[in-house]
């Protein structure tokens, strides 16, 4: 269940961060409410993750995948562009998450 909760925490965090951008400084009510709900859900699910996955590993995966997904959301929904060094950096983050999940004995299973 740890990885299911981690996935839900990541998705909720991405929703909250996307809504944060859309809230335009909390001047729009609906996105502002989504920010609060998204972050509350993210931390709730992350708290459940920490019952089975060590905090350092869980946070590395959560933060890393959140960065990558927010870059994708920025490209798709906010008309942002990324240059080649940013692509390389994102690929390194993904590689780090893969290495942690495949090779680390610290990951709770």
Structural domain of residue 90, as residue ranges? 2-103
The pLDDT score that the predictor gives to residue 109 is 52
Is residue 86 a part of any domain in this protein?
A: yes
The CA distance from 53 to 44, in Å, is 15
Is residue 90 a part of any domain in this protein?
A: yes
Is residue 68 a part of any domain in this protein?
A: yes
Is residue 96 a part of any domain in this protein?
A: yes
Q: Measured in whole angstroms, how far is the alpha carbon of residue 11 from the centre of its chain?
A: 6
Is residue 108 a part of any domain in this protein?
A: no
CA 16-21-23 angle, 5° bins: 85
How confident is residue 105, by pLDDT bands cut at 50, 70 and 90? confident
Considering all CA atoms of the chain, what is the largest pairwise distance in Å, rounded to the nearest integer?
46
Q: Three-class SS of residue 89?
A: helix
Residue the block writes with tokens 């965090």: 13
pLDDT at 70 over 70: yes
Is residue 82 a part of any domain in this protein?
A: yes
Is residue 57 a part of any domain in this protein?
A: yes
How confident is residue 104, by pLDDT bands cut at 50, 70 and 90? confident
How many folded domains does the chain comprise?
1
pLDDT at 94 over 60: yes
| Per-residue pLDDT tens over the stretch 22-69 | 999 999 999 999 999 999 999 999 999 999 999 988 999 999 999 999
Average pLDDT over all residues of the chain: 93
Is residue 109 a part of any domain in this protein?
A: no
Task: Burial-class residue 32 by CB neighbours within 10 Å (0-12, 13-18, 19+).
Answer: middle
The pLDDT score that the predictor gives to residue 102 is 85
Whether the CB-CB separation of 24 and 77 falls below 8 Å is answered with no
Whether the CB-CB separation of 23 and 35 falls below 8 Å is answered with yes
């Amino acid at each position: 269940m740890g990885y299911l909760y981690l996935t839900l925490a990541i998705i909720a965090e991405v929703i909250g961060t996307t809504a944060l951008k859309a809230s335009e400084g909390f001047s729009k009510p609906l996105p502002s409410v989504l920010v609060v709900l998204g972050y509350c859900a993210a931390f709730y699910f992350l708290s459940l993750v920490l019952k089975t996955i060590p905090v350092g590993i869980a946070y590395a995966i959560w933060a890393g995948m959140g960065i990558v997904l927010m870059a994708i959301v920025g490209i798709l929904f906010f008309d942002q562009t990324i240059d080649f060094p940013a692509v390389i950096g994102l690929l390194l983050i993904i590689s780090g998450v893969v290495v942690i999940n495949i090779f680390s004995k610290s990951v709770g299973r």
